[in-house]
Structure 1
């Protein structure tokens, strides 16, 4: 203690008492300024790099329904096994349908004998046409799904072009098979081709061959089957679902953001995604569409009075709006699950500071997926 303080101890005590409130005031000011800075940063960041954890992986869920009835002879696929398009999933007993084909062939031969025509080549050409038509139908279904998502921007143009090419190839196969059938009919002779008995026999043969083809239940796309408890000997009825197929070819993410976070978000903005099923991985993507609106219960039934919303006040409940995101699936192939959760951040501008902070934060969230 200095000589002045020793000489005047009351002055020293007063100085210490004054210093303590100053430290508290300084600390309080720092805390208040920090809170204000964090609040302002959050508000600005929410407009430049909006982020949400309300996001789900979505895709096509296809119920597998046999087109013909029959006893299940063999289940080729296991639950959740990855299969490719066209791979057999289950086999129905084809015995009755093979008999029907042979019966139809005999009926065609009898009809041909009645008019003095050779029908063997016609029967073979008809079988090739039936197979080509089945392939075209399967390709048409797949192409329709891909092109529908291409219109929304969920799948790339290359995938859409591949779907169109596959469909064109399938149509060409049907055209060739039809041409071969017409050639066989012409070789059979005009009289046989125009004979009503021959026509009826050809139609019956086509239907029998088609039913026989349908005893092999095939995968519509690449994906896996789930939610089935099927065993050999089960009688499958036409039109009744026997298993659920999850397509992994056409997968996208639907993310819900607060509506006041989407002011600067536009189609084409860069996106980064952290999937819960793939901790530590961050996948890049793009915003492909922003929904125009959602159902908030505004419709009222006729004969009833309108209902007023109960949301009042400044801090009313936040409204969430969905956006669709296409992401690079090759980096997480085999790790995707329909309905899986994800964190999504959108970079709506070229602000290097906020974008850098956003990239750091989404990677931290991806690491958090290991423990949450």
Structure 2
């Protein structure tokens, strides 16, 4: 009886050992298959967590110096194109304009000419030129956004119409100024003293116009830390403007995942603030340079994105992504985090597995 019991125990031990060995083999096999899958998927269906929402961010700096007389907006306030943001004390600049008008009058009287018409025509011409320059900047920004598909052609057409109107106003103002100069007399208008007075008047009028800081587009003013009485120095940023239109994603993708990626490839996007929701996009462009290691920021030395790697691994390169059919009630914020899955049409099975991953990640990223 004892021998039989001992034999059964040995059989059980052998069976247990075999089961443990089988489980170990299965685990090792599963890990091996998972590792092989990740290597394969990293090539044919890459996915990255290093993605941030981008838009136009402009540091607004005055072109003249002086104390701030009025602040017309609040921090994080929405603004429209051309809206007044703050005003620098105008009094010194208004006095400068009056001084140049008197100088022109004095120069004109030296030649028995009336400079009043030129004063008015010159002021109108400078104002029209400033407005045209502002509209040109707005059109240039919109042209980039149209090429990326982030604003409609109708919005671009409106900008071009504003540009044509501003150009027409400037042409009319220049014609009026030329007429006033002709009435001033060909001999007198060519006089160096009069020309010097006219140049000083134009600069004084430009400086007066620059005392009003205006919004460069539709968006939000943020990180505002100014108040009435603060001194504004020319060229020193006072406000940060974040455009509320033309959002795109910048995803930092490992270089060994770029093999099959190309422009127009579809992508799926997950935002931390929208758990369980998956949004669509497409690849707009793939960067040709990356700078060092760090976060998703721009290197001051090279002007390129820093790659978010912390050790000697595969470098990451920026991939710009356009959104496709985003819901109108979706709220995006500059530098918001996103997870991006790429679909380069290399493997049907891989893309279906990626669908499962991105769906699961839409929940996991929210709680992580």
- TM-score, length basis structure 1: 0.77
For each residue in 1:231-290, what CA deviation from the matched residue of structure 2 results, as whole angstroms up to 9, or x when unmatched?
Answer: 211122222222333334454322112222111111111122222344444332221222
After superposition, the Cα gap between the structure-2 partners of 1:104 and 1:22, relative to the gap in structure 1 and judged at 3 Å, is same
Does 1:205 find its partner at 2:198?
no
SS at match of 2:248: strand
Match of 1:355 among 351, 358, 368: 351
* Deviation per residue, 1:18-57 (Å, 9 max, x gap): 7656655654555455444433433332222211001122
Residue 330 of structure 1: CA displacement? Answer: 5.6
Is contact 2:89-2:211 (8 Å) kept? yes
When residues 195 and 279 of structure 1 are mapped into structure 2, their CA distance, relative to the original with a 3 A threshold, is farther
Q: Which runs of 5+ in 1 are unaligned?
A: 1-7, 298-314
What residue in structure 1 maps to residue 170 of structure 2?
174
Cα separation, 2, equivalents of 1:243 and 1:316: 38
In structure 1, the residue matched to 2:111 is 115
User: Highest CA radius of gyration, 1 or 2?
Assistant: 1
Q: In structure 1, how many angstroms separate the alpha carbons of the residues matched to 2:190 and 2:312?
A: 76
**Superposed CA offset, 1:69-97 (max 9, x none):** 22211111211222122111111111222
CA shift in 2, pair 1:49/1:135, >3 Å:
same
Equivalent position of 2:323 in the other structure: 327
Dislocated runs of 4+, deviation >6 Å: 8-18, 159-162
**Following the alignment from structure 1 to structure 2, what is the Cα–Cα distance between the partners of residues 174 and 278?**
48
Structure 1 partner of 2:228? 232
Q: Does the aligned pair in 2 maintain the 1:66–1:214 contact within 8 Å?
A: yes
- Tell me the SS of whatever aligns to 1:204: helix
1:101 aligns with 2:93: no
Q: Which stretch of the first structure deviates more once superposed, 114-123 or 268-277?
A: 114-123
Whether 1:38 and 2:49 are equivalent positions in the alignment is no
Distance in 1 between residues matched to 2:5 and 2:235, nearest whole Å: 99
Name the structure 2 match of 1:259: 255
> The residue matched to 2:74 in structure 1 has which SS?
coil
Structure 2 Cα separation of the partners of residues 126 and 278 of structure 1: 55
Residues 361 and 295 (structure 1 numbering): CA distance in 2 closer, same or farther, change over 3 Å? same
2:120 alignment counterpart:
124
Find out whether 1:84 has 2:80 as its counterpart: yes
Unaligned 5+ segments in structure 2 are 294-310
